Amino acid sequence: MTQLSVLDLSPIVQGGDASQSFRSSLDLARHAERLGYKRYWMAEHHNMPGIASAATAVALAHIGDGTSTIRIGSGGIMLPNHAPLMVAEQFGTLAALFPGRVDLGLGRAPGTDQLTAQALRRHLAGGADSFPQDVVELLHYFMPPAPGQAVRAVPGAGADVEVWILGSSTFGAQLAAMLGLPYAFASHFAPAELDRALAIYRERFQPSERLARPHVMCGVTAVAADTDAEAWHLFSSLQQSFVALRTGHPGPLPPPVDDMESRLDSQAKYMLNQALSVAAVGSPATVQAALAALIKRTRTDELMVTSSIFDHAARLRSYEIVAEVHEALAVAA
């Protein structure tokens, strides 16, 4: 049965702040745990006024301390921004604090603009081009230390951390297949190469000590409410945020508006239709049909649900509806 997980960007809403965002994230994580979601991931973004999870490992410690069974992890850590040893230490620390519950999803994008990437790294040498080598180095730090090994991750060496490769193109699919790692595709905002990437990953997968067979996760934006009209109203917050980001004006998550369609020019409509083409937005019946179609299309092992909704209570309700829909799909299967 396809499993459900949560991707949380810890959105900062208009009129709110990061402290409120982290309180809401913990509340959502506890809610997801009660509902049976498998994982709770947070993502690294920088210089984004609407996203609070830049210090991802720190934020995950907050979530882990307030929950007990749900897996916590990154969706993802943008490895070009970090030395592999530091990532191994951070997630080795999380694994020591929350044994058997820690995932590490790795991406090769900077998670920000070039100027901010420069501020993060001081220089841009290597970066995305060295991503495969950096992943291999990081995996090495998680292995039990060899006799005489000069550099060790403490904590980290021998840690039980489930490592994933993330991607929105075929590059990540090829790397995940070569290294024998699970693969998560960012279909929630960049679905263009979804089918091709999954096909490449499955065809080229090489079993490893970490994973015997291909394992796929697909991201999906899901905004569920009692009616289609209510869900589309809630969804307008994300639509506004996407347009602002893609036009160079990122900001806090705005409140929903009525008649969003009339506020968009043709270019914005095209961009949203492309970026959010696999979104599941609507009533329980509408969301169920959309998720069933995505599962059938991709044969995914897991769905990672993200829902940027301005009102926290509505966001909790959306995840509750998705869980109910998922249960109905399992019964019907």
The CATH number of residue 80's host domain is: 3.20.20.30
Amino acid identity, position 226: D
Examine the pLDDT at 331 and tell me if it is beyond 90.
no
Average pLDDT over residues 290-303: 97
Backbone torsions φ then ψ of 123, nearest 5 degrees: -145, 160
* Euclidean distance between CA atoms 298 and 300, whole angstroms: 5
Write down the pLDDT at residue 173.
97
Give the Cβ contact number of residue 266 at 10 Å.
7
pLDDT, one tens digit per residue, over 57-112 is 999 999 999 999 999 999 999 998 899 999 999 999 999 999 999 999 999 976 56
Write down the pLDDT at residue 114.
73
Task: Name the nearest CA neighbour of 302 among 203, 205, 183.
Answer: 183
Examine the pLDDT at 142 and tell me if it is beyond 80.
yes
| C-beta of residue 2 within 8 angstroms of C-beta of residue 323 | no
Give the Cβ contact number of residue 222 at 10 Å.
27
Range of the domain at 327: 3-332
Structure tokens at 64: 């882990």
Write down the pLDDT at residue 62.
98
Q: How much of the chain, in percent, has pLDDT values that exceed 90?
A: 84
pLDDT, one tens digit per residue, over 167-202 is 999 999 999 999 999 999 999 999 999 999 999 999
| C-beta of residue 94 within 8 angstroms of C-beta of residue 30 | no
pLDDT, one tens digit per residue, over 201-255 is 999 999 999 999 999 999 999 999 999 999 999 999 999 999 999 888 999 999 9
Write down the pLDDT at residue 120.
66
Helices (H), 208-302: 228-246, 266-275, 284-298
| C-beta of residue 181 within 8 angstroms of C-beta of residue 210 | yes
- Give the chain's domain count: 1
Q: Helix crossing, 228-246 with 284-298: angle to 10°?
A: 60
Write down the pLDDT at residue 18.
97
Q: How much of the chain, in percent, has pLDDT values that exceed 70?
A: 95
Task: Name the nearest CA neighbour of 16 among 45, 43, 50, 40.
Answer: 50
User: If you ran DSSP here, which 8-state letter would residue 12 be given?
Assistant: P
| C-beta of residue 276 within 8 angstroms of C-beta of residue 242 | yes
pTM (two decimals)? 0.94
Pairing of strands 280-282, 183-185: unpaired
| C-beta of residue 223 within 8 angstroms of C-beta of residue 307 | yes
Examine the pLDDT at 303 and tell me if it is beyond 80.
yes
Categorize the per-residue pLDDT at 118 as very low, low, confident or very high, splitting at 50, 70 and 90: confident
Write down the pLDDT at residue 130.
87
